[in-house]
Amino acid sequence: MWRNAERTKNRVLPYFQEGTSLIVFDTETTGLGRDAKIIEFGGIRYVIRNHALVPTHYLNRYINPEEPLSDKIVELTGITDEMVADAGNESTLAPEIYRFLESADLWAAYNCQFDLRMLRQMEERTGLVFRERECLDILEMARDLIPKEDVENYKLSTVAGYLFPEQDVQFHSAAEDAKVTARCLSRFLSGYAGLEEGPKKAQARLEYASYSENPRQKSQKRIKLKLSRGEYGDIFWDVVNHGWGCKATRKARELFSGLDMKNIEQQCLNRYGWKYRASDMDSLASAWGKAKRASS
């Protein structure tokens, strides 16, 4: 599996200048769907001082969803109806949360698209508008810098256990998750800073690519490439595992190990990114897959 960690490095590191403010945050919710509500918000505001994250402000709030919590959510989060019974509802607490978030130049969260979606849903229900900042996804950093074979999965608890095996953390508390996410971020920033350019590799021309889902194996979703070298599908973007891979044949593995994958990825984005309004492989795969399913 290969990911373009250098691309993320070049995008992320310039944000971390002296004096930049950053909020790392997390949410616990009533579920995953369009009607899910935030029941806990935890955030820590940092300022960059001498290349370190220095905490300046904290915000941790329970939010009364005004509906009973399911047994599954209670088990998953440890939050009970009694814990949120005396808390304000989202209309009461959203202004404070939004003001806090807007006090920073930059945001970060683990699987940030989920947390952003929960904030937007609260915005829609309350009619209270907030101004979004660039949000760095620490999950994507984990996928960049921790080899897939080294971890069972990329859940925050698994990644934190890999990076900090001595740490005992209560996960699925928004406040604790935010603290751990910030620690992971610091480690990953060091990882990106230490990346060095590898040896020069072979070039190949992208002739075409196609999106493919195996109906007999749901987990096999790929953007398959036809290059000027090798066979169609030897090299592919693995949609499920969020990285570049190759067939299990000797020829495909040899081709993959010798290719300049940064160049291949850029060719793919240049060719198809405009069509799906995508600037990275994950967003390209998501949009391409939706378009294919809609047309079938």
Which of 193, 222, 240 finishes a domain? 193
Model confidence band, residue 170 (pLDDT cutoffs 50, 70, 90):
low
Model confidence band, residue 169 (pLDDT cutoffs 50, 70, 90):
low
Pairing type for strands 221-227 and 206-213 reads antiparallel
Does residue 38 belong to any structural domain of this protein? Answer: yes
With contact defined as beta carbons under 8 Å apart, do 228 and 205 qualify?
yes
The total number of structural domains that make up the chain: 2
State whether 163 and 248 are in the same domain.
no
Q: What is the pLDDT of residue 61?
A: 97
Look at 17-31, 90-104, 185-199, 246-260 and tell me which has the smallest mean pLDDT: 185-199
Which of 134, 167, 193 finishes a domain? 193
State whether 105 and 15 are in the same domain.
yes
Does residue 82 belong to any structural domain of this protein? Answer: yes
Does residue 115 belong to any structural domain of this protein? Answer: yes
Does residue 132 belong to any structural domain of this protein? Answer: yes
Q: What is the pLDDT of residue 179?
A: 94
Tokens 């067939």 locate to: 247
State whether 158 and 36 are in the same domain.
yes
State whether 182 and 233 are in the same domain.
no
State whether 130 and 16 are in the same domain.
yes
Each residue's pLDDT tens digit, 180-234:
999 999 999 999 999 988 788 999 999 999 999 998 888 899 999 999 999 999 9
pTM, two decimals, is 0.89
Does residue 10 belong to any structural domain of this protein? Answer: yes
Torsion of CA 174, 176, 181, 186, to 10 degrees: 150
Q: How many CA atoms lie within 13 A of 157 on its CB side?
A: 8
State whether 254 and 212 are in the same domain.
yes
Does residue 143 belong to any structural domain of this protein? Answer: yes
Mean pLDDT across the stretch 58-64?
97
Q: What is the pLDDT of residue 173?
A: 83
Each residue's pLDDT tens digit, 122-157:
999 999 999 999 999 999 999 999 999 999 999 999
Alpha carbon distance 148, 47 (integer Å) = 32
What secondary structure letter does DSSP report for 49?
A: E
pLDDT of 277 strictly over 80: yes
State whether 122 and 252 are in the same domain.
no
Q: What is the pLDDT of residue 7?
A: 92
Q: What is the pLDDT of residue 58?
A: 97
State whether 112 and 239 are in the same domain.
no
Does residue 200 belong to any structural domain of this protein? Answer: no
With contact defined as beta carbons under 8 Å apart, do 36 and 79 qualify?
no
Range(s) of the domain holding residue 148? 5-193
Does residue 172 belong to any structural domain of this protein? Answer: yes
CB within 8 Å of 34: residues ≥ 6 apart = 121
Which of 193, 217, 246 finishes a domain? 193
Model confidence band, residue 53 (pLDDT cutoffs 50, 70, 90):
very high
- The mean of the pLDDT values for the chain is 95
- Closest listed residue to residue 120, CA positions, set 133, 109, 129, 107: 129
Q: What is the pLDDT of residue 198?
A: 79
pLDDT of 86 strictly over 80: yes
State whether 176 and 271 are in the same domain.
no
Q: How many CA atoms lie within 13 A of 129 on its CB side?
A: 1
